[in-house]
Structure 1
Amino acid sequence: MKRVSYLLLSLAYSAACLPCHQGDPSDLIGYGNDNPLGTTTGGEGGEVVKVNNVKDLTAAISDNVPRVILVDGSFNLTSRLKLGSNKSLIGVGGTASFNNSGITIASVSNVIIRNLKVNFVYGNDGITIQNSTRVWIDHNEFASDLDHGPDHYDGQLDIVRASDWITVSWNYFHDHWKSSLVGNSDSLRSVDKDHFHVTYHHNRWENIGTRGPAGRFGHLHV
């Protein structure tokens, strides 16, 4: 999704890195927790599967059955991952990463993504949240480089098309031109109206060369 306006929230925290998160639901604050649809629980109560290859990963995320997917290792993706509803996608071992391509959360609800590194995603966003509700993006790292100029990569985390009830917490965004966008087009004003309830909590940004004004928010907590 190529866009013009990108959001840089100029908050910096002194910690050298963001620790892995063990998934205590009490840590969820903001709109991902407090909303009329119910707390974001992801795959809670469903089967727990551990994946270490793209084939098994794709199969585990593709339906809407509650499931906790434990991601083990580094994945060099050739196409975007598309999550179904009621999923927790959790990196384990401190090395879980997606490279070259990213994650699409589109027209679904109740998704958690945690403890992943999303790196060097060319031609699209690291994570795109579109027309989706109850999403928790927590304790992830997003990175690329500033060497290729502002149009080589797209956004690190973009929230668009009437998405709602989202918490973005304890993530580390760095070395990128375009970080996080909320809302992407004035032509979609009627679609987006009364949506974009988004909470950003204790995230960290470093070496971001973003340009342009902020996106069009509905209700943004920082």
Structure 2
Amino acid sequence: MASSVASSVASGTVDAKTLTGASTPFQSANYGVRNYSAPVKDSNGHDPANYKAAPVLPTWQFATSDPTGGKLTFEREVAPANGWHTWSRKGKVTVTGGSGATASRVYTVFNGQQLVAAINEAQNDPKIIRVVGHIDLRWSSNNTVFKEYTSYSDQKMGGSIMLPSNTTLVGINDAQGRPARITGTTILIGSELANGAVDAETGYKAWIAAGKDSEDYPTWTRNIIIRNLVIDAPWDVNPEDSANAYADAMTLSRAQNIWIDHVSMGDGDTPDSLASDTRHDGLLDIVRGSDYVTVNGSYFFKHHKTTLIGNGDSGRAWSDDGRLHVTLSNNFYDRLESRLPLNRYGQVHMFNNYIYGLTDSGVSADLKFGSGVDPRYKSNMLLENMYFEITALATDSFCKKAIDGGNGTNPIGFRSSGHQLLSNKGGNTTPIAWDGQCGYAVPTGANVWTPPYTYTLQTATAAKASVVANAGAGKLK
């Protein structure tokens, strides 16, 4: 499987690595370095009185040796041509990540400090980083010293990993077959930088006003592959307020050509029920002008705010309008509360996903389904052949649960067909065919789009069985 990148790049496409350069500055150096500062009250509402360490710690699965002996298998694979990640404003691309890494740019890491060191050494060079065991930036000294985050500042910078361009980050199953795991650590891909101006928006608008190509604006992070990892959403030790935490499990910001495959993401050992306020933010957010992203074969479970695509309405048009092309396919959304996804501006293609939710009385808050696909301001979505199974819910209520825009904001267009819908209400065990349009208008004229990539579409029923069997970390074939 370790074929050369040259032979793996599809005919007629370009290696996404060639899109990186001056427009993709290395941004990672200040991340992953703890400052152990005391909590302070700031203008964003981070009040020391609200500081609370994670009340439960996981059972650690630290490793000190590589069960593969360093042999590469799937690590050099490039991304398949079946999602928005294969496109760009400069034409068709192949996302290669770190597939072409030289021997000196292939790293096997067993702790957070080794992961940070690998990133800082390789910078934007093509690199493969293989995680074995359990990574958590709260541990240091070769996983022998543990210290909880001491403040918002300590967690924001010291508890985050920033992946640079041209990276393949993968988990390696241990000798017991368990996939590698990342806990207590936010994974960042990209950042919205000002490029010397007063703020990011001013800098970007000045660049465009000068007649320059937005693709050359120097804040992009591009060409990243993430596979076969369990990622636990961090517990926010000092959130903004009782309803808003800061730390996501993974955030894409001004990121392009990203392929996320066979990851498992949830709250891990620290569900929100362990606190009287909100201690988790998103699982996987795709925001701030990010574009050409595919998430497939992944498992999302037991979390409140799952995925946000576009994090604002009119105030974000300068960065998001015409961007946020995202594919979500063959994923398992299991006992989640909301945002599957919540979409503003995004041209989003969802197909062959399985959504399972519980609305039964007495179900704990960490498991109860609130809302699913959430089309909002200027979104334009295409949903095909998905399986919705939401327990104890009347059929005529599905359009307020499975698909609902919530605030009444207007999408550009919405198309939804080929689904199966199942509720066990009244002892029912038979799914029904459902188009799921839920009153939303289909796009017209120039707003009608067709995915510019090939993909295999299963029936909703076949997709459910396939997703349950194959989605998530540890299930790569």
Instruction: Encode CA deviations 1:56-107: one digit per residue, 9 max, x unaligned.
Output: 2112223111001110110122411111100000000133111112200013
Give the corresponding residue for 1:82: 162
SS in 1 for 2:278: coil
Q: Which residue identity is paired with 1:49?
A: Y
2:230 aligned residue (113, 117, 123): 117
2:186 aligned residue (73, 96, 102): 102
Give the corresponding residue for 1:32: 85
Q: CA RMSD in A?
A: 2.1
CA change 1:119–1:213 in 2 (3 A) is closer
Give the corresponding residue for 1:15: none
Instruction: Encode CA deviations 1:31-68: one digit per residue, 9 max, x unaligned.
Output: 11244262111001113221112222112223111001
The 5 A counterparts of 1:95-174 are: 95-106=179-190, 107-123=220-236, 124-144=247-267, 145-147=271-273, 148=275, 151-174=278-301
1:92 aligned residue (151, 172, 178): 172
Do the aligned partners of 2:307 and 2:340 also contact (CA within 8 Å) in 1? no
The 5 A counterparts of 1:173-184 are: 173-184=300-311
SS in 2 for 1:32: helix
CA change 1:212–1:103 in 2 (3 A) is closer
Give the corresponding residue for 1:56: 114
Q: Which has the higher strand share?
A: 1
SS in 2 for 1:109: strand
CA change 1:44–1:185 in 2 (3 A) is same
SS in 1 for 2:118: helix
- Name segments (4+ residues, structure 1) moved above 4 Å: none
CA change 1:54–1:212 in 2 (3 A) is closer
- Structure 2, unmatched stretches of 5+, are 1-72, 139-158, 191-219, 237-246, 351-477
Give the corresponding residue for 2:332: 204
Q: Which residue identity is paired with 2:93?
A: G
User: C-alpha displacement at 1:142, in angstroms?
Assistant: 0.3
Do the aligned partners of 1:101 and 1:122 also contact (CA within 8 Å) in 2? no
User: C-alpha displacement at 1:179, in angstroms?
Assistant: 0.4
SS in 2 for 1:60: helix
CA change 1:169–1:97 in 2 (3 A) is same
The percentage of counterpart residues that share the same residue type is 34
CA change 1:42–1:26 in 2 (3 A) is closer
SS in 2 for 1:136: strand
Q: Which residue identity is paired with 1:118?
A: I
- Structure 1, unmatched stretches of 5+, are 1-20
Using the TM superposition, name which of 27-36 and 95-104 deviates more.
Answer: 27-36
Do the aligned partners of 1:146 and 1:209 also contact (CA within 8 Å) in 2? no
Bigger RCO of structures 1 and 2 (CA < 8 A, at least 6 apart): 1
CA change 1:55–1:139 in 2 (3 A) is same
Q: Which has the higher helix share?
A: 2
Give the corresponding residue for 2:129: 69
Do the aligned partners of 1:161 and 1:183 also contact (CA within 8 Å) in 2? yes
SS in 2 for 1:69: strand
Do the aligned partners of 2:256 and 2:290 also contact (CA within 8 Å) in 1? yes
CA change 1:89–1:73 in 2 (3 A) is same
Give the corresponding residue for 2:319: 191
1: CA distance between counterparts of 2:264 and 2:229?
6
User: C-alpha displacement at 1:113, in angstroms?
Assistant: 0.8
Using the TM superposition, name which of 48-57 and 191-200 deviates more.
Answer: 48-57
Do the aligned partners of 1:104 and 1:129 also contact (CA within 8 Å) in 2? yes
